[in-house]
Amino acid sequence: MASHRRPKQPSRARVTVLTTAAAAAVAISAQAASAAPSEKPSKDEVKAKVDKLYEEAEQATEKYNGAKEKQERLQKDISTIQDSVARGQEELNELRDSIGLAAAAQYRSGSIDSSVQLFLSADPDDYLDKASTLDQLSGQQVEALKKIQEKQRQLAQERSEAAGKLKDLAATRTELGKKKKEVQGKLAEAQKLLNSLTAAEKAAMAAEDARASRSASSRVDLGNSKAASGRAAAAFSAAQSKIGSPYVYGASGPSSFDCSGLTSWAYAQAGVSIPRTSQAQANAGMRVSRSELQVGDLVLFYGDLHHVGLYAGNGQVLHAPRTGTTVRYESIDNMPFQFGVRI
């Protein structure tokens, strides 16, 4: 007789294990799908990202230049103050020696003046403040003590000023290091993107940049615009002599430049000193509108004024664009123009 026993049902524990295993398999599959390599960016996409990183690097570069300029100014100020303190200390020592000689002479004669004794005490300021003793001093001694007091106050003030500037210098050096690291980080990130390209893509991009530099250097119609002044003409001529020089962040010539390094170097060749950074150069002269631009005027770009060049005439600017390029002409319309500055 056939058996009519019901088939054995799986236990609840077995069902739970199977369900968990199935869920895990689904999760692993989903993770594998998400971990699958994304589509490689195109050459144009890489170029756009690299250009953006170069722009960010230039922003950081101008901040780096500002910190570097401040560091140099502080070092010069501190050196000047320290020299003044050294000279002041010598004068103070001479004043003290003169009083000391007078005291020695009185000691040898056996009649040292009580006022000199008080002066030789640890606190001559306190002595001078006591009006009751002033009549014990000769006019010459009073004058000598007053000079010593004034010199002591002056030296204390200068030492305090030097200490403050030294503290500021330490903070500036820290800021300089951070900005330098930021620039290097942006450039390294850009290089990593470039390294992701194939050899053929790298060659094509390099060829495009080379063509842009050649056409911007030799095929530009500058029109017949006049220079804003003799010094502007001299500065522009100096900058023209550097066409083809490479962009290097923090460089201010004579063989490589960043944007504000080129403009400050060019005007220095014309005998004019202007600030080092683009933001400071924006306030170095009279602001002019686009329609008022003349050859040699500074031209500021971007809302934060992190880029500067020299107006070349006919809607062209001569500048050091960014890492990977050289000093060249470029249309003023290629960047967000803000205003011009006439030096």
Nearest to 316 by CA among 303, 302, 335: 335
Residue 312: name the closest of 295, 333, 331 by CA.
295
Is residue 4 flagged as an active site residue?
Answer: no
Active site (annotated) includes residue 307: yes
**Residue 203 DSSP code:** H
Q: Quote the mean pLDDT of the chain.
A: 81
Is the alpha carbon torsion for 329, 333, 336, 338 positive or negative? Answer: positive
Confidence of residue 28 (pLDDT cuts 50, 70, 90): very low
* 326 secondary structure, DSSP code: B
CATH tag, 221-342: 3.90.1720.10
259 is catalytic: yes
pLDDT of residue 227: 93
Predicted local confidence at residue 205, as pLDDT: 80
pTM of the full structure = 0.66
Residues 136 and 116 sit within 8 Å (Cβ to Cβ):
no
Nearest to 186 by CA among 273, 60, 65, 30: 60
User: 199-245: per-residue pLDDT in tens?
Assistant: 888 888 877 777 766 555 556 888 888 999 999 999 999 999 999 99
| Other CB atoms within 10 Å distance of the CB of residue 339 | 17
Alpha-carbon distance 32 to 294, whole Å?
62
Q: Judge contact between 276 and 252, C-beta under 8 A.
A: yes
**Mean pLDDT within 46-52:** 88
- Please enumerate in sequence order all residues whose Cβ is within 8 A of that of 329, keeping only pairs 6 or more positions apart, or say none: 216, 217, 220, 222, 243, 312, 316, 317, 318
Catalytic residue among 307, 322, 328, 342: 307
Of 95, 232, 259, 305, the active-site residue reads: 259
- The predicted structure's pLDDT at residue 1: 47
In the chain, where the domains are located: 43-195, 221-342
Tokens of 241: 């002599």
Rounded to whole angstroms, what are the CA distances from 183 to 62, 223, 275, 321? 10, 37, 21, 15
**Model confidence at 105, in pLDDT bands (50, 70, 90)?**
low
